[in-house]
């Protein structure tokens, strides 16, 4: 019984693509925890009245939202490569700084930072003014207002959109190995599916199972994020 | 190129500058500049496809028949869970295989057909595609993917049209058909425009994938031209200039986004003139 299940071509395929799926998961999990605070800082920068903070943040967000991630990967890899001789090699860090497992998350952080920052910025602009004024009237300091009013409101208002952004980030991880060099067996879902396709030309099986992995990962992100969303809105119920 | 430029223009540049002009206007570079057409054609054509599929998807979504509704909902929700790049690669390959399958059925022997691991089963069944064919297929698959997003937007916009206006129209004696086409559909575009403009932004960014679909577009040429060249016979000797070339593309796409933004703002202002409900 178990043997027949294990020998099923679909099960075989799912097992075959399990390891590549871990690479996608790695890229997403390495980018989200750093991308989130980075995005919050960018959003606060763009929202700031100080133009020395707001202009660079605005420019960064515009540039990274206005250009394809595909090009950003190519560009950053080429940049890192051209800095190899003057910086990385003398410092002795070229081994890992040029590694896709490092550059991949780096570019993803910059990209998701820009997209998420725009979401957080939108939320910052729609925070109810009355709440901020009330907090000020209570005699709270700026730091206290941020902690008790701005931050929770921003998170609550932007969370549904940020969930979508996290899902899109997970989808974007499939671009890493289209642009960066593939080292040995370090392959992600799309890469492995493409390789398997070239062997037997069965596009429905390979791309289907790869799509299934993405679908499940997306559903997991939506589910976990939904739980957090409920927690954020628990005072409204 | 240097010989067709006037003397006074060239006199502004030093020897190195003239060499640079010659380099930037050589045949390969001119081909690179000309390949922008693929990007622009792909963007416009896929946008048209996306609107078409979007309208079909929206119609399916609000159909009274459960099967159509189910198909529409499946179509619009699947793209939220699976990356666009997977579909963009999948559709052209699947279409190609589908066509080759039918050719093979009539042209290959049964023996060849049963063999596994080769495609197409026999040489006669090979479907040769030109760059333009690949471009068309790429547009079709981009249109299918972003059509799903557009269907969501159009579906939402159809419901955003104020009921009072439609009721007022029928009170004035317009027929049901007129109310639908002249009021609902006409007004729908105004509400759909912000969403459609977002999809257009996604779409122009997705046109960078053309190089993955056998189209020799700007990304493909940038990679080729940026690679280091050590042979004087092949043109200017230079180290790896990939960064510079990709940076040009980076800026190109930002400018494209900027222009699109202006265009859509203009369109939005024009479409919503006389409406107080729509935020400007």
Q: What would the pLDDT profile of A180-189 be if each residue is shown by its tens digit?
A: 888 888 888 8
Q: Which of A20, A60, A70 to mutate to test the interface with B (most CBs of B within 10 A)?
A: A70
Residue with more model confidence, A159 or B117? A159
CB pairs under 8 A between A and B: 105
Contacts of A167 in chain B (CB under 8 A): 80-81
Residue B278 has pLDDT above 60, yes or no: no
CB hemisphere CA count around B19 (13 angstroms): 7
The pLDDT, as a whole number, for residue B63 is: 85
Write out pLDDT tens, residues B244-276. Answer: 999 999 999 999 999 999 999 999 888 877 776
Write out pLDDT tens, residues B19-68. Answer: 888 888 888 888 899 999 999 999 999 999 999 999 999 999 988 888 99
User: Thinking of the domain A2-232, which architecture would CATH place it in?
Assistant: Orthogonal Bundle (1.10)
| Whether A167 and B94 lie within 8 Å, measured CB to CB | no
Helices B131-160 + B36-61 axis angle, to 10: 40
Residue B180 per-residue DSSP state? I
Q: Which of A17, A61, A67, A103 to mutate to test the interface with B (most CBs of B within 10 A)?
A: A67
Q: Give the closest residue to B191 by CA, choosing from B154, B164, B149.
A: B154
Average model confidence (pLDDT) across chain A: 90
Mean pLDDT of the A141-170 span:
92
Give the CATH number of domain B36-271: 1.10.3720.10
Tell me if A31 sits within 8 A of A169, measured CB to CB: yes
How many H-runs (helices) and E-runs (strands) does chain B carry?
13, 0
The pLDDT, as a whole number, for residue A202 is: 83
State whether residue B253 sits within 8 Å of chain A by CB. Answer: yes
Give SS3 for B215.
Answer: coil
The pLDDT, as a whole number, for residue B276 is: 60
Q: Domain boundaries in chain B?
A: 36-271
Buried (b) or exposed (e) across B156-182, using 16+ Cβ within 10 A? ebbeebeeeebeebeeeebeeeebeee
Residue B138 has pLDDT above 50, yes or no: yes
User: How close B171 comes to chain A (CA, Å)?
Assistant: 39
Write out pLDDT tens, residues B85-116. Answer: 999 999 888 888 888 888 877 777 777 766 66
| Whether A72 and B119 lie within 8 Å, measured CB to CB | no
Contacts of B94 in chain A (CB under 8 A): 203-204
3-state SS record for chain A = CHHHHHHCHHHHHHHHCHHHHHHHHHHHHHHHHHHHHHHHHHHHHHHCCCHHHHHHHHHHHHHHHHCCHHHHHHHHHHHHHHCHHHHHHHHCCHHHHCCHHHHHHHHHHHHHHHHHHHHHHHHHHCCCHHHHHHHHHCCCCHHHHHHHHHHHHHHHHHHHHHHHHHHHHHHHHHHHHHHCCCCCCCCCHHHHHHHHHHHHCCHHHHHHHHHHHHHHHHHHHHHHHHHHHHHHCCCCC
């Amino acid at each position: 019984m178990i043997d027949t299940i294990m020998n099923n071509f679909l099960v075989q395929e799912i097992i075959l693509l399990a390891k590549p799926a871990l690479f996608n998961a790695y890229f997403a999990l390495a980018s989200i925890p750093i991308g989130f605070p980075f995005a919050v800082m960018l959003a606060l920068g763009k929202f700031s009245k100080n133009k020395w903070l707001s202009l660079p943040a605005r420019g960064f967000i515009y540039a990274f939202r206005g250009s394809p991630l595909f090009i950003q990967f190519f560009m950053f890899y080429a940049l890192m490569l051209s800095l190899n001789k003057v910086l990385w090699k003398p410092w002795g860090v070229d081994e890992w700084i040029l590694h896709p497992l490092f550059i991949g998350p780096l570019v993803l952080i910059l990209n998701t930072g820009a997209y998420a920052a725009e979401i957080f910025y939108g939320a910052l602009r729609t925070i109810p003014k009355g709440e901020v004024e009330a907090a000020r009237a209570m005699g709270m300091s700026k730091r206290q207002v941020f902690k008790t009013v701005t931050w929770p409101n921003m998170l609550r208002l932007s969370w549904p959109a940020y969930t979508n952004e996290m899902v899109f980030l997970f989808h974007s991880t499939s671009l890493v190995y289209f642009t960066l060099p593939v080292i040995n067996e370090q392959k992600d879902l799309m890469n492995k599916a493409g390789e398997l396709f070239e062997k037997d030309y069965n596009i429905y099986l390979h791309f289907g199972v790869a799509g299934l992995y993405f679908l499940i990962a997306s559903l997991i992100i939506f589910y976990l994020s939904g739980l957090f969303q409920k927690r954020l809105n628990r005072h409204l119920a | 190129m240097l010989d067709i430029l006037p003397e006074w223009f060239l006199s502004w540049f030093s020897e190195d500058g003239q060499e640079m002009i010659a380099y930037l206007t050589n045949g390969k570079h001119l081909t690179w500049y000309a390949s922008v057409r693929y990007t622009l054609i792909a963007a416009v054509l896929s946008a048209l496809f996306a609107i078409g599929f979007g309208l079909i998807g929206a119609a399916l979504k609000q159909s009274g028949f459960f099967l159509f509704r189910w198909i529409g909902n499946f179509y619009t929700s699947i793209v939220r869970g699976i990356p666009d790049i997977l579909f963009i690669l999948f559709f052209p390959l699947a279409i190609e295989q589908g066509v080759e399958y039918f050719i093979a059925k009539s042209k290959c022997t049964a023996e060849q057909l049963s063999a596994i691991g080769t495609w197409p089963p026999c040489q006669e069944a090979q479907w040769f595609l030109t760059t333009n064919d690949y471009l068309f297929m790429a547009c079709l698959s981009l249109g299918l993917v972003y059509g799903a997003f557009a269907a969501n937007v159009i579906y939402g916009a159809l419901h955003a049209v104020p009921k009072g206006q439609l009721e007022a129209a029928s009170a004035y004696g317009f027929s049901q058909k007129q109310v639908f086409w002249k009021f609902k559909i006409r007004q729908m575009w105004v509400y759909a425009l912000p969403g459609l403009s977002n999809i257009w932004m996604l779409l122009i960014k997705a046109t960078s994938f053309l190089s993955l679909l056998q189209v020799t577009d700007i990304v493909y040429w940038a990679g080729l031209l940026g690679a280091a060249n050590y042979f004087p016979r092949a043109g200017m000797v230079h180290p790896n200039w990939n960064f510079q070339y990709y940076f040009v593309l980076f800026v190109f796409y930002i400018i494209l986004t900027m222009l699109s933004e202006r265009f859509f703002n203009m369109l939005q202002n024009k479409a919503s003139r006389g409406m107080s409900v729509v935020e400007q």
